[in-house]
Structure 1
Amino acid sequence: MMHLSHYSYSVNRAIWKITRNFHKTCQRLSKSKVVLGIETSCDDTGAAVVNTEGQILGEALNSQTKIHVEHGGINPSTAKSLHIEQIKNVVTTALHRAGTTLQDLDAIAVTTEPGLAPCLGIGLGYAKELVAESGLPMIPIHHMQAHALTARLLEHIEFPFLVLLISGGHSILTVAQDVDRFLLIGRGLDTSPGDCLEKVARCLNLKSLPECQNLSGGAAIEMLAKGGDPKRFAFNAAQNRVPSCDFSFSGVRTQAETHIQKEREQEGISGESVISTVGDLCASLQYAITFQICRRLQRAFSYCELQGLLPENSTLVVSGGVASNQYIRQCLQQVCQMNSSRLVCPPPKLCTDNGVMIAWNGVEKLRIGRGVSSDPQSENYSPRSPIGEDVTEELFRLGLKIPRLKLEIQP
């Protein structure tokens, strides 16, 4: 009997533990809020469901890259049409993969700025339909702020921290002071690094190479640069001599395109043929772009130290499509080591546009109770919108000098 009594006690205690853990789980889940994020700022239709614990419950993405590559670049009208075709399916798929319905959500976050106007309008319009149907609150999202905060989904990063956003549409250096508070210390003055890479790739006819047919221009240049000499051609940017953190890649692009045309003439190339020095040119272009980015980052660290904007052991978050370039990442790591800073890069799939970053930014705003629209149906989109308070002129007037930089990384 004693053995049976002891057995019953053990079983009852095991059941009690299971019941207790179940109730704890239910309590935890009941406190968790769930946000749907919708992204259509450019050429990717993305949606994701993320909760306040940072769990990606479900996501879906329709990339238009292949279509735009075939047509030589992003056409806003084409991108808009593709968003219209895909948005319902993408959102439905994300909800299905998350095992949720509209009734299970706590809010809908949607990109409203900045981006291509026709594309922003599709995402915002669909979000308004869902909000009207469900009665859920809407959280308008700044696309670049979302990129800046994506790393906080994956790692513990406390404010403030430095952020470098480099993509096909932007080049930005900013200090993230809070979820909705940023200082702009460096901006793009003309073409972005991603656009520069895409345009030069087109000039090189890289899509005529079998190994590059399904790659973006930037990815193709990165791949071909691995077999090239980064010092073969000197593409110098006048902006490197300006004591600011602003970016300018138009000069580098013009020099590269001029060189390509001269070499095509010298080699008697016509049509879609590729110049013989394509690997060296890709490596040299990649180096020129990387060098400018690293110089700007050097000055950003100096400015932040002078103004006391960052803690002693700071963090640099690098995001945006160009941040997927491994050569650029390695060179940025070198600059971070020189400044006792930790480099954090989201995985490549979260560096490009996606619904996860929009949902997560919505979660961050929901947590602090700021940024929820008081009148969702009156919300509008803004194609151009600064990421935060602009201190670029103040930085320029300081005329900060920085030490020489020698990049040791090979493609």
Structure 2
Amino acid sequence: LLAMNSLTRSLWKPLKRVQAAWRRASPARAAEQRPPRLVLGIETSCDDTGAAVVDESGAVRGEALHCQREVHLKTGGIIPPVAQQLHRENIEQVVKEALDVSGVSVSELAAIATTVKPGLALCLQVGLEYSLKLVNKYKKPFIPIHHMEAHALTIRLINQVEFPFLVLLLSGGHCILAVAQGVSDFLLLGQSIDIAPGDMLDKVARRLSLSKHPECQGMAGGKAIEHLARTGDRQRHTFRVPMQHYRNCDFSFSGLQNLVNKVIVEQEKEEGVQEGELLSCAKDIAAAAQHAVAAHIVKRTHRAMLFCIKHSIISPQNATLVVSGGVASNQYIRKGLQIVADANGFSFLCPPPRLCTDNGVMIAWNGIERLRAELGILNCTDGLRYEATAPLGIDISKRVEEASIKVPRLKMKI
């Protein structure tokens, strides 16, 4: 009996350890066995009404998008009350279509995620109000989404990108360099101090009256610039790259826009045409303006890379540059960024064009990221408000400027 008791005690401790390990593993095992959780994402921050259902494996079950571009092309720019009304007219149908395609009902969702900041206030209001009606009706958790965080993490839907990574967000409303350290953990390295590159290119396109150009029918301004620049001679005009003497990662495009406008006025006088008429050298101006924008973006990104490596924020062995946002679809700018990434040993990744512009998929995926990390999931939405302006992460741009990193000259043969 004594021998048997001794044997039982000797076996009991290992058995207890096995049981403890089993209990620790059971939540993960349960997660593997249960169906993947589903999130509905809703996006109305600017001029696109988007919705999508995405599961936690990254599968897009269904999506829908209503684009307002044609309306805003006629008015020469986005008019917030008009955009708001179009969101109101289309949001219910867009959400219904995304759910119908997915074959999922609202009751099957794990949560509803919606852009609440930053963006046009009147447009954000539509998305938030509609989402909260669904949340209250179906008693679902709500996940408020930061629009720029969603753009930054979209790449993780299609690539296994590990934190931390350098991210450049380029759009009609933003130009931001940041380090993504986690799902909701960002270091802001620099941003535009005035207008965004997409806004500048759109304004140059309007000043050149490219909507009247036979090759640019129905194209948005930035797309028209990119199209004409392909066959233009950028060396016929030279525009000074902005902020050459500032050793930081901030951007500025308003001064460059003024330089381009000045050349347009000079060319109009030289050719004897009125404002609103097409210049014969429009392609050359488009090419020169696009090149100056690309050179400015590439140089600031180059400094960000050097800063991150020097201060051990990003490891040289696992360095990645992610570029997203509407302007990231510009192939000329992409090629310039590919050059600087290659020169510094960074992998270069960019979502496909359809996921670079605003869409419901990126919002739903950000909801999945937050759901997994258990961050910002609300069961009570009392007092929740949309925010037209919102910073991205912790601002360390002063540290970047104080580092005063000189960027070596880089030949950009595109």
TM-score, length basis structure 2: 0.91
Secondary structure at the residue paired with 1:190?
coil
Runs of 4+ with deviation above 3 angstroms:
26-29
The corresponding residue for 1:76 is 80
Q: Is 2:37 the counterpart of 1:54?
A: no
2:374 to 360, 365, 369: 369
CA distance in 2, matches of 1:311, 1:305: 6
Secondary structure at the residue paired with 2:113?
strand
1:129 to 115, 133, 151: 133
Structure 1 gap ranges (5+): 1-25
Map residues 146-157 of structure 1 onto 2, 5 A cutoff: 146-157=150-161
Number of matched pairs: 384
Secondary structure at the residue paired with 1:49?
strand
Q: Deviations over 1:272-293 (max 9, x none)?
A: 3211111111110000000000
Query: Offset of 1:405 from its aligned partner?
Result: 2.0
1:243 to 228, 232, 247: 247
Secondary structure at the residue paired with 2:269?
helix
The corresponding residue for 1:7 is none
CA distance in 2, matches of 1:148, 1:374: 25
Query: Offset of 1:400 from its aligned partner?
Result: 1.0
Secondary structure at the residue paired with 1:240?
coil
Q: Is the 8 A contact 1:169 1:195 kept in 2?
A: yes
1:285 to 279, 283, 289: 289
CA distance in 1, matches of 2:401, 2:225: 32
The corresponding residue for 2:164 is 160
The residue type paired with residue 351 of structure 1 is C
The corresponding residue for 2:27 is none
Query: What percent identity do the matched residue pairs reach?
Result: 48
Map residues 202-221 of structure 1 onto 2, 5 A cutoff: 202-221=206-225
CA distance in 2, matches of 1:105, 1:374: 14
The corresponding residue for 2:351 is 346
Q: Is the 8 A contact 1:58 1:97 kept in 2?
A: yes
Q: Is 2:402 the counterpart of 1:387?
A: no
The corresponding residue for 2:319 is 314
Q: Deviations over 1:184-229 (max 9, x none)?
A: 0011100100000000000000001133121110000000000011
The residue type paired with residue 377 of structure 2 is V
Q: Is 2:379 the counterpart of 1:359?
A: no
Secondary structure at the residue paired with 2:405?
coil
Query: Offset of 1:70 from its aligned partner?
Result: 1.2
Q: Is the 8 A contact 1:237 1:248 kept in 2?
A: no
The corresponding residue for 2:96 is 92
Structure 2 gap ranges (5+): 1-29
Distance 1:232 1:29, change over 3 A: farther
1:378 to 371, 380, 383: 383
Map residues 10-21 of structure 1 onto 2, 5 A cutoff: none
Q: Is the 8 A contact 2:241 2:295 kept in 1?
A: no
CA distance in 2, matches of 1:244, 1:197: 23
The corresponding residue for 1:198 is 202
CA distance in 1, matches of 2:324, 2:382: 31
Query: Offset of 1:27 from its aligned partner?
Result: 8.4
Query: Offset of 1:31 from its aligned partner?
Result: 3.5
Secondary structure at the residue paired with 2:280?
coil
The corresponding residue for 1:399 is 404
The corresponding residue for 1:3 is none
1:266 to 244, 265, 270: 270
Q: Is 2:339 the counterpart of 1:327?
A: no
Secondary structure at the residue paired with 2:114?
strand
Distance 1:92 1:401, change over 3 A: same
The corresponding residue for 1:11 is none
Query: Offset of 1:238 from its aligned partner?
Result: 3.7
Q: Is 2:190 the counterpart of 1:186?
A: yes
CA distance in 2, matches of 1:279, 1:302: 35
Query: Offset of 1:240 from its aligned partner?
Result: 2.3
Distance 1:242 1:53, change over 3 A: same
Q: Deviations over 1:153-183 (max 9, x none)?
A: 0010000000000000000000000000000
Q: Is the 8 A contact 1:237 1:251 kept in 2?
A: no
CA distance in 2, matches of 1:404, 1:86: 49
CA distance in 1, matches of 2:186, 2:349: 18
Q: Is the 8 A contact 2:242 2:253 kept in 1?
A: no
Q: Deviations over 1:352-406 (max 9, x none)?
A: 0000000000000000111112422421111110110000011111211110122
CA distance in 2, matches of 1:29, 1:381: 37
Secondary structure at the residue paired with 2:226?
helix
